[in-house]
């Protein structure tokens, strides 16, 4: 099959979050299975790719004028990439970051239209176009020559666009983007794509309820027939405690000494008291979705119970930063916690490997990768039962769960986890082993996507 992905991110050269990892995992695995996969991406200024090759140009209508795009080709692990560089005065991708610009919606809607124009002029169309989140969800409204799959990685980002910006795109049917009193690019994608997927089965059901689905709940109900959830995988080569170059000691499910050594190494390095106690970790973006107040409460509860806590959280919001800086100051004398409010790849690996328990108390979580990474590193997850967290963590089997997003429920689960670690080491080991033996690689998810493409292509031909 010839499959084109259109996305704003791809690990490792254009990564902002979990979507970038998911895309690389899916590309790699489907390529390994013999399919012709390609990726269309904006040509960001900061891309570091070998052997960029200048191709021809692509003309397109935008904002009532003719615009020119320079096309480039490159490859990553032999996956062909087509990069689009708009030659417009807005310099849409000559920026330092993937997101966070005031004109993000114009940048990516422009990119999506350019991607559709590129596809349109191909002499041989792909079998499948696979679009990711709102950034690419304009494409199926414009390009109809291939089966279109739209994956919703996070419904919390609907790609709200003003009428003026939508008009700039000069598209025929923009009423499909109208959602209540605003316009959403994601909505147009939901309506026009042949198939919608979400990144876990539980999330595909949750978004049919008003609490999670919000303004899209009724629309998604209407299109329920074409909605399915496929759990993301994690990269088993990159996340591997047996060979991870970023951790000081290696280990596997039969040889766990290295995990103990990594815990001691980190206690020393981060100047925590070098004692035998439960070590709890969290690696996250500190945004409301991830339950920052619950994380803070878990830190306090852990220290109070005699444990230690390692928190690595990238935080932009000044209130959230203040919350954790204050906590660090208050609890510093205990030598029981280390808080780092930034993105740090190496420390993330250390925390996954050194911790005993890993917490993910998200308010909502479309899939979540960190609970799966933790299990791969023999670290028992404690999560809120929402979205992909509830699809991967099971009480009494591989971790601890709590329901309501409230401190009492979280504390109850922490108390169970602390008691199990202290009083039932055999049970703890069993949870750890079960997690390590799970297969969260891309093997299964990639096969599920391919089966879905096949099935939909077959139904289209009939």
Of the candidates 204, 355, 370, 398, which one interacts with ligand ADP according to CB under 6 A? Answer: 370
Stretch of 127-135, 263-271, 308-316, 392-400 lying at the interface with ligand ADP (CB under 6 A): 308-316
Measured torsion, CA atoms of residues 171, 177, 182, 184, in degrees rounded to the nearest 10: -100
362, 355, 404: which is closest to 383 by C-alpha?
362
Beta bridge pairs of residue 279: 308
Q: Can you tell me the distance from the alpha carbon of 260 to that of 250, in angstroms, rounded to the nearest whole number?
A: 10
Coil, helix or strand at residue 311:
strand
144 token code pair: 């109809």
Q: Which is nearer to ligand ADP, 274 or 346 (CB)?
A: 346
- The span of 62-70, 218-226, 278-286, 425-433 binding ligand ADP (CB under 6 A) equals 278-286
Phi, psi values for residue 79, rounded to 5°? -90, 120
Binding mask 342-361 for ligand ADP (x = CB under 6 A): -xxx--x-------------
Instruction: Choose, by CB under 6 A, the member of 313, 361, 387, 390 that binds ligand ADP.
Output: 313
Q: Is the peptide bond before 116 cis (omega within 30 degrees of 0)?
A: no
Residue among 8, 9, 18, 148 that touches ligand ADP (CB under 6 A): 18
Nearer to ligand ADP, 199 or 410 (CB): 199
317 or 396: CB nearest ligand ADP: 317
- Of 70 and 344, which has the nearer Cβ to ligand ADP? 344
Question: What distance in Å separates the CA atoms of residue 21 and residue 235, rounded to the nearest whole number?
Answer: 8
Q: Which stretch binds ligand ADP (CB under 6 A): 113-121, 280-288, 396-404, 413-421?
A: 280-288
Residue among 355 and 370 whose Cβ is closer to ligand ADP: 370
252 versus 314: smaller Cβ distance to ligand ADP: 314
Tell me whether residue 26 or residue 369 sits nearer to ligand ADP (CB atom): 369
Contact of 321 with 315, CB cutoff 8 Å:
yes
CA distance 57 to 334: 62
- Binding segment for ligand ADP among 139-147, 310-318, 320-328, 430-438 (CB under 6 A)? 310-318
Which own/partner pairs from 165-172 qualify as long-range (CB within 8 Å, at least 24 positions apart)? 165/105, 165/106, 165/109, 166/109, 168/62, 168/63, 168/64, 168/106, 169/62, 169/109, 169/110, 169/113, 169/138, 170/61, 170/62, 170/64, 171/113, 171/138, 171/141, 171/142
Name the residue whose CB lies closest to ligand ADP. 18
- Reduce the DSSP state of residue 300 to 3 states and report it: helix
Q: How far apart are CA 429 and CA 63, in angstroms?
A: 61
Half-sphere exposure of residue 390: CA atoms within 13 angstroms, side-chain side: 18
CB of 389 to ligand ADP, least distance (A): 9
CB closer to ligand ADP, 317 vs 345: 345
Nearest distance in Å: CB 41, ligand ADP: 18
Applying CB under 6 A, among 25, 42, 126, 368 the residue interacting with ligand ADP is 368
CB of 255 to ligand ADP, least distance (A): 24
Residues at the interface with ligand ADP (CB under 6 A): 17-18, 21, 283-285, 312-314, 343-345, 348, 367-370
């Amino acid at each position: 099959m010839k499959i084109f992905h259109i996305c704003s991110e791809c690990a490792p050269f254009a990564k902002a979050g979990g979507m970038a990892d998911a895309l690389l995992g899916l590309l790699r695995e489907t390529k390994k299975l013999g399919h012709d996969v390609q990726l269309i991406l904006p040509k960001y200024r900061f891309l570091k790719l070998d052997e960029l090759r200048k191709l021809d140009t692509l003309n397109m209508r935008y904002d009532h004028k003719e615009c020119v795009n320079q096309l480039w080709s490159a490859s990553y692990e032999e996956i062909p990439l087509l990069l689009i560089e708009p030659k417009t005065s807005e310099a849409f991708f000559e920026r330092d970051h993937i997101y966070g610009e005031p004109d993000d919606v114009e940048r990516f809607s422009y990119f999506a239209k350019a991607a559709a124009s590129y596809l349109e002029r191909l002499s041989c169309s792909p079998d499948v176009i696979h679009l990711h989140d709102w950034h690419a969800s304009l494409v199926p409204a414009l390009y109809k020559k291939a089966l279109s799959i739209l994956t919703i990685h996070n419904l919390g980002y609907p790609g709200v666009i003003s009428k003026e910006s939508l008009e700039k795109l000069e598209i025929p049917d923009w009423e499909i983007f109208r959602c209540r009193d605003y316009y959403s690019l994601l909505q147009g994608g939901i309506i026009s794509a042949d198939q919608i997927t979400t990144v876990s089965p539980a999330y595909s059901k949750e978004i049919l309820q008003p609490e999670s689905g919000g303004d899209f709940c009724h629309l998604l109900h209407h299109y329920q027939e074409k909605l399915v959830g496929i759990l993301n995988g994690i990269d088993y080569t990159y996340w591997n405690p047996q060979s991870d170059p970023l951790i000081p000691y290696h280990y596997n499910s039969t040889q766990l000494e290295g995990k103990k050594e990594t815990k001691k190494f980190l206690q020393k390095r981060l100047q925590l008291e070098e004692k035998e106690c439960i070590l709890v970790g969290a690696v996250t973006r500190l945004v409301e979705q991830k339950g920052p107040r619950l994380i803070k409460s878990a830190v306090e509860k852990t220290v109070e119970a005699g444990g230690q806590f390692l928190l690595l959280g990238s935080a932009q919001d000044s209130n959230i930063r203040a919350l954790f800086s204050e906590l660090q100051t208050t609890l510093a004398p205990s030598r029981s916690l280390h808080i780092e409010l930034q993105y740090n790849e190496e420390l993330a690996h250390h925390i996954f490997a050194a911790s005993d328990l890993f917490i993910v108390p998200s308010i909502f979580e479309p899939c979540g990768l960190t609970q799966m990474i933790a299990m791969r590193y023999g670290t028992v997850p404690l999560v809120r039962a929402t979205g992909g967290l509830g699809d991967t963590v099971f009480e009494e089997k591989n971790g601890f769960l709590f329901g309501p997003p409230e401190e009492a429920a979280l504390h109850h689960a922490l108390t169970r986890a602390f008691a199990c670690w202290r009083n039932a080491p055999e049970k703890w080991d069993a949870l750890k082993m079960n997690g390590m033996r799970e297969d969260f690689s891309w093997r299964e998810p990639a096969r599920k996507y391919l089966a879905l493409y096949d099935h939909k292509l077959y139904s289209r031909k009939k």
